[in-house]
Amino acid sequence: MTTQSPYWNPRHETMGRDELEALQVRKLGNLLSWADAQVPYHSRRLRSAGVTPDSISSLDGLKRIPFMTRDEWMQGQMGHPPYGPILAAPQDAAIRYHLTSGTTGKAPIRVLDSMKDWEWIAEMWCYGFWGFGVRPADRVFFAFSYGTFVGFWGAHYACEKIGCLVLPGGNMTTEQRVNQILDMKATVVCSTPTYALRMAQEARLMGIDLAGGPVERVILSGEPAGSIPATKKLIEEQWGAKAGDTAGMTELGTIMMFECDHQPGGAHIIEDHYIEEVIDPDSGEAVGYGEPGERVVTSFGRGFIPVIRYRTRDLVLKVPGSNCACGRTFDIYDGGIRGRVDDMKLVRGTNVYPRAVEAIVREYEAIDEFQIHLYTADGIRDEIEVLVEIPDASVEAEPLCNDLAKTLADAHEGLRFGVKKVADETLPRFELKAKRVLDEREVVGGRGERKQA
């Protein structure tokens, strides 16, 4: 690697698709042999599907391997606490413990990592940071709490590996973080999309215009909003910086995709370290380029826990790497993670995706924060409303709310949305994984078909 290359791993990131596929098949064979030998749980699953490690000679053969779901992972954890029957190494060999963020109210997934895992975790983030233009001279601030949630931990090590100056921002108030970014002249800030906007709001209250500050790049992770164009545009305007998306998951410990500095409207999949399939979430059948579906991940890098055909519930749409002019052959998830399969709300027979609502709300720059509220009216009817904060007193709220309501209805087959202004700073604020949907319906999602008699 030379510092001039735009790629972290020039050979792999630009290799021909045939060569890449051959590499994936070889790594898949190694993964299956190792899981078969080290993890009786996986060995049983493979054997029951009639799969032996040497019986898969193409990517198509992958389809013979059963999917693994989060529910199965959790059942394993409950049956064999605390980690489940999935560890491929003795617990003594671990150097780190972490958890899913647990914002969904479900029990968290607990994982262990080895030293080698952490080298790999950092390496994956290096693809992303380097690809978005981060270089050794950069000073990188992490607006991150450094807790048991894996979050930006790997990115922290990636920046050390690249040779950046790392500025850890744990245990700080938002105001302290804004001050630190300016004092230390951070050139890169890592944050969730929601919290990037939160810091910009706080800076405004402090009388600071971040757009005139030192930050050149904001690297986003943790929420699908990093690839919603209107949200990203807002972050870029408020920070006067380029905003790039990444996405990962606790089950992997790191990212599996990143936006390159050409910003093709999506994120490249790190395909020399993962196989990413897209399936119809109902039938489990593969879908092609350009069709939405659920991503299924197989990871070659995780040393403590083999991840084989894991159903993520993330909604994606894959397009060829050639859609981007950067020269990478790695395929792209257009629009990043488009939400979760389970996110969809059925309201009076119409599908509502929170991401689609956010994409519309973010077009209204006067709105600082919002919440989607679902409730049951008159004991029978589903209603949906969007609560908004409009802190700028010079903005007339009523026409804005009416216009937003109309735009939302137009995008949802005429479904009526209430839009209400609420007092400033009354809606919840988030540092991690914003949860802007409050579903208080008495029978969730079930009333669409049962209109008033």
By the criterion CB under 5 A, which residues form the site for Zn ion?
Answer: 260, 262, 324, 326, 328
List the one residue out of 192, 336, 339, 191 whose CA is nearest residue 267.
336
Task: Tell me which residue has its CB nearest to Zn ion.
Answer: 326
* Residue found under tokens 């993964």: 31
d(CA 172, CA 156): 17
Task: Report the nearest approach of Zn ion to the CB of residue 328 (Å).
Answer: 5
Task: Report the nearest approach of Zn ion to the CB of residue 261 (Å).
Answer: 8
Task: Report the nearest approach of Zn ion to the CB of residue 331 (Å).
Answer: 11
Task: Report the nearest approach of Zn ion to the CB of residue 131 (Å).
Answer: 7
Q: Which strand (E) or helix (H) includes residue 126?
A: helix 115-131
* Residue found under tokens 């609560």: 387
Q: Judged by CB, which is closer to Zn ion: 147, or 264?
A: 264
Task: Report the nearest approach of Zn ion to the CB of residue 268 (Å).
Answer: 6
d(CA 93, CA 390): 52
Q: Judged by CB, which is closer to Zn ion: 324, or 388?
A: 324
Q: Judged by CB, which is closer to Zn ion: 94, or 326?
A: 326
Q: Judged by CB, which is closer to Zn ion: 195, or 258?
A: 258
Q: Judged by CB, which is closer to Zn ion: 328, or 338?
A: 328
Q: Judged by CB, which is closer to Zn ion: 45, or 328?
A: 328
Q: Judged by CB, which is closer to Zn ion: 230, or 326?
A: 326
Please state at what angle helix 153-162 crosses helix 115-131, rounded to 10 degrees: 70
87 with 227: CB under 8 angstroms?
Answer: no
d(CA 220, CA 97): 23
38 with 308: CB under 8 angstroms?
Answer: no
Q: Rounded to whole angstroms, what are the CA distances from 195 to 102, 424, 432? A: 18, 17, 7
Task: Report the nearest approach of Zn ion to the CB of residue 263 (Å).
Answer: 8
List the one residue out of 51, 68, 72, 69 whose CA is nearest residue 60.
51
Task: Report the nearest approach of Zn ion to the CB of residue 5 (Å).
Answer: 14
Residues contacting residue 418 through CB under 8 Å, at least 6 positions apart: 383, 384, 385, 386, 405
Q: Rounded to whole angstroms, what are the CA distances from 69 to 103, 139, 322? A: 18, 39, 31
